[in-house]
Structure 1
Amino acid sequence: MMSISNDDMVEPVGDRILDAAASCVLSYGVDRVTLAEIARRAGVSRPTVYRRFPDTRSILAALLTLRITRALDDVPSRGVGRELLVERVVSVADLLRLDEVIMAVLHQAPDMAMVYLSERLGTSQQILLDTVAGEIKSAQDEGSVRPGDARELAAMSLLIAQSTILSADLIRPILDTEPLATELAHALNGYLKP
């Protein structure tokens, strides 16, 4: 006879830690997130957290990676071609722009955000870059994206989308949610078309 223990139904510890970190960010703001509070909310000991993450900054970095890659997974590719690729990039950008945790980290921890915006590519950025480059290459082969190095085109496309995400609040009086998405799509389509 097979039994199912409660352990089989429990969310993995790493996921609970990241969920707790997200809750802390939203409750207290990035600067007041502590490893002790993350552990308490996750229902684990501080040593359990330390075995997975050396500090709160690494937890926040892992949290951003998770949320960004989750947004990409939530908008699967619908096929090959420039318009479908642009549609996907715009949809992912919309999800990221509306993600309270991501925006809190970007706005409340500019020193951390600047590392990933101007100094080095993080894990999630590499994943996005690889995904978009692959889709650009397929669209080039299909004929709807201009010739050029697919990775370079992907990098520029991501810079355009990233700028849109970062400046969305600033420009909201002029370009609200739908017009912003429309203009981002126009910019990307114009940049990528043959």
Structure 2
Amino acid sequence: MTDGAPAELRPPAPVRHEILRATYACIARAGLARVTVEDAAREAGVSRATVYRHFPGGRDELVRDTVGHEVAHFFLDLADAVAGAPTVAAVLEEALLHAHAAVTEHEVLQKLLATEPDRLLPNLTLEANRLLPPIAEFLEPHLRRLHLRAGVEVSAAAEYVARMVLSLVGSPGRWDLTDRHEVAELVRCELLAGIVGGGGPVPAPPAGPVAGRPPAHRTRPAAVGDPAPPDVGGPDDAEGRVVAAALVCLSRWGIAKTSLEDIAREAGVSRATAYRLFPGGKDTVLDATLAAELVRFTTELRARLDGAADLEALLVRGVTFSSQALAGHAALQYLLAHEPEQLLPHVSFGRFDQLLAATSSIVAPQLAAFVGDRALRTGEWATRLVLSYAAAPSPTYDLTDEGSARCFVRTHLLPGLPGDGCP
């Protein structure tokens, strides 16, 4: 498997490999925060200068590349584990079963997730996104063995399946990845239903920038996350003004550099007033800001979904609005770009499962009218995909664009829902 693996998954050169192995051993013993270049050099039996020659960025580069090396090694082992699977469905089933067990039983990973998630998850998420293309490349020859639906491009199908696998490995949500029957249903109904033969041809993505890599800047309607919504923080609502001001400050400076004084100044109130309104100080303001944003998002999403004539319209509305809200949320985008350690621990692994459950429960009442008791799983599936494509933009789909989102829903979501052979 290694010889034919994509370049990103191949082992590094011997000296570099030994340094990475030594760094991992140090992390396993002492954790991420305490590992040093000197520790790694001593463990590897090389000089400090040798470490810097291979990792000129020092400790940060060394830790980042060690995480990347372990992630690549994980997927190399996964590829070996599925090498003898006779069908594409079997490859994916074995991959999910094996990967879930490996993650659950990985002592060092579980220790770091419990003790240092803020240090681990930014690097882990970055590496997972970086490995999306090579994993898709690995899947392509397997998918070529299938009788694909008319109009399905192998590269786009491989990218979609790779995203689903990466997401499910860390956060299975409502699926029990220890149950072979459930995993087989998951593969059939959520990974392959829109790809394999049967049903009508797949609609072509809209022409223009949507069909290529999404543009760097998108125009969008006003959405959740605009720093100063007109219905929040009126002249007689000091609490609302403080919450709206916190959102503005977060979009400018992030969490670490924003102080309660900054928020009070932006809100036009004194520091003493801010403390009187939020006795816990900055942390209490941030909690209130998050709660207000969630209420606003939920209210607006439900309003967008109300009145949808059919399941397709409902899904397209939900996917498009949610993607626009994420892309246009200035504070969220600042945190992702500059302070991922503040955000990612709350939206990864077990916390991501909680987010999937909460979001699916929001849209379940509208979905239930069309998919019955599959509403929660459908909501979870759509949420998983929206967040995946928001975190790592696709060359095929721009889910902030209604036409592209409609093509995506018709290709990947609708074929896996009840009425098309799936329960």
Q: Normalising to structure 2: TM-score of the pair?
A: 0.36
- Residues 20-59 of structure 1 correspond to what in structure 2 (within 5 A)? 20-50=245-275, 51-52=277-278, 54-59=280-285
1:105 to 327, 335, 359: 335
Unaligned 5+ segments in structure 2 are: 1-233
Q: Is the 8 A contact 1:67 1:102 kept in 2?
A: no
Q: Is the 8 A contact 2:371 2:418 kept in 1?
A: no
Distance 1:60 1:120 in 2: 18
- Residues 58-69 of structure 1 correspond to what in structure 2 (within 5 A)? 58-69=284-295
Q: Is the 8 A contact 2:316 2:405 kept in 1?
A: no
Letter in 1 for 2:310: G
- Which structure shows the bigger proportion of residues in helix conformation? 1
2:241 corresponding residue in structure 1: 16
Distance 1:166 1:26 in 2: 18
Letter in 1 for 2:368: K
Q: Secondary structure at the match of 1:31?
A: coil
Q: For residues 97 and 64 of structure 1, do their structure 2 counterparts lie closer, same or farther at Cα, with a shift above 3 Å needed?
A: farther
Distance 1:167 1:104 in 2: 15
Distance 1:53 1:124 in 2: 28
Letter in 1 for 2:328: L
Letter in 2 for 1:42: A
TM-superposed CA distance for 1:167, in Å, is 1.7
Using the aligned pairs only, state the percent identity: 22
Q: Secondary structure at the match of 2:392?
A: helix
1:189 corresponding residue in structure 2: 414
Unaligned 5+ segments in structure 1 are: 1-8, 142-146
1:87 corresponding residue in structure 2: 316
Q: For residues 10 and 130 of structure 1, do their structure 2 counterparts lie closer, same or farther at Cα, with a shift above 3 Å needed?
A: same
Distance 2:279 2:390 in 1: 28
What do residues 87-145 of structure 1 show as CA deviations (whole Å, max 9, x unaligned)? 2221222222222222223333322322331243699866532221222212124xxxx
1:167 corresponding residue in structure 2: 392
Q: Normalising to structure 1: TM-score of the pair?
A: 0.71
Instruction: Count residues in correspondence.
Output: 177
- Residues 110-129 of structure 1 correspond to what in structure 2 (within 5 A)? 110-118=340-348, 119-120=350-351, 128-129=359-360
Higher relative contact order (CA 8 A, sep 6+): 1
Looking at CA atoms only, which structure, 1 or 2, has the larger radius of gyration? 2
Q: For residues 157 and 101 of structure 1, do their structure 2 counterparts lie closer, same or farther at Cα, with a shift above 3 Å needed?
A: same
Backbone CA RMSD of aligned residues? 3.2
Q: Secondary structure at the match of 1:78?
A: coil
